[in-house]
Amino acid sequence: MTKENKNQHQQKFFQYWERIPAIIRGPVTGYIVGFIGIFGAGAIMEANFSINEPVPWSVPLIMLFLWGYVRYFRGAGPPADTASARRYAAGWEPLSRQQWKWAGLGSTAIFLFVPASVALTFRFVELPPGLLDRSEEIAGMPIWVAISYISMIALTAGIAEEIAFRGYMQRIIARSHGPWVAIIITAIIFWIAHFNHESGPVRAFLLLGGGVMMGYLAWQAGSIVPLVIAHVASDIYTGLISRGIIDSSYIFAETLVFETGLDGHFIVWSALTILCISMVAMAGRKLEPLKTSPATR
């Protein structure tokens, strides 16, 4: 096959692909992009566990893989015909200092929303047995090794999931159906994607509510970068908690709110949740007039 014929086949493929409704094309594309990131980094880490678990030699390799992953899905590399579409869909755009002022406020609020929403969720439903048990692999590792693995898992999830969901999925849908349809659909799929975790279905408040907040902030900022930072930080935080490296007693109450009524624990976390939602809403409003990228208009 000549280069010219190959280019013609590629153009035909993309023409057919663009005819698929965005509400289907967005989620499919997002899942493929996310799978590549999660599977690629996961395969490197799995090899590390299999060959020499106590030494986290996979850390620099995963960082190198993620660097190439971000570059490619931001538009670098072949085919050149899709470079601008990849850059738009990724949403990995630089922000001005003024934008960072408000995007930073919003991403901080999203980070704080994670423990707040988890604390409230498990005042209404029982904590799944074994949710906070340390895995055998992590339990036998030195702290610095465990933290290295947790950080790489968080970095992979934060980058791959944000490019996949708030990037490709949300932006492709938004082009045809507007931002709010895209934000809500993406948040629902984001929640469903976490059903593989035993607490996924009951964490609707965190994953749906947080998904809407993240999608809104990403759209208003015109960039997923603040969301990547918030996502990575929250995953490191929850990873350290779930593996017993830092204390979680201040988050998880021993009784349900139906049994105790509106106690101090419930009131404090409820107040923080409302504050976080308000902070994201305010940050989004402040970011609206600061959008400069044509891709966000």
Token readout for 111 is 């980070």
Residue 292 lies in a domain: yes
pLDDT at 253: 86
Residue 193, in any domain of the structure? yes
| Residue 3 in domain | no
Measured distance CA(157)–CA(197) in Å, rounded: 14
221 located within any domain: yes
pTM above 0.75, yes or no: yes
**Structural domain span for residue 95:** 21-296
What would the mean pLDDT of 66-89 be, rounded to a whole number? Answer: 93
Q: What is the pLDDT of residues 37-64, one digit of tens each?
A: 999 999 999 999 888 767 889 999 999 9
Does residue 12 form part of some domain?
Answer: no
Alpha carbons 112 and 283: distance in angstroms, whole number: 15
pLDDT at res. 144? 84
- Return the minimum-mean-pLDDT range out of 112-121, 158-167, 232-241, 249-258: 249-258
Question: Measuring CA to CA, which residue among 66, 111, 65 is closest to residue 226?
Answer: 111
Task: For 167-194, write each residue's pLDDT tens digit.
Answer: 999 999 999 999 999 999 999 999 999 8
Window from 7-21, 240-254, 257-271 with minimum mean pLDDT? 7-21
The string of pLDDT tens digits covering residues 8-25 is 556 666 667 678 888 999
- Tokens representing residue 17 in the block: 């692909």
Report yes or no on 154 lying in a domain. Answer: yes
pLDDT, position 295: 44
Tell me: the pLDDT tens digits for 184-226?
Answer: 999 999 999 988 776 666 778 889 999 999 999 999 999 999 9
In contact, 93 and 222? CB cutoff 8 Å: yes
Q: Which residues contact 28 (CB under 8 A, 6 or more apart)?
A: 20
| pLDDT of amino acid 3 | 57
Percent helix, strand, coil in the chain, to 5, is 75, 0, 25
| Per-residue model confidence (pLDDT) at position 290 | 85
In a domain, 11, yes or no: no
> What is the mean predicted confidence (pLDDT) over 239-250?
82
Q: What pLDDT band is residue 296 in, cutting at 50, 70 and 90?
A: very low
* Structural domains in the chain (count): 1
What is the amino acid identity at position 275?
L
Q: Is residue 62 part of a domain?
A: yes
Q: pLDDT tens digits, residue range 281-292?
A: 999 999 998 876
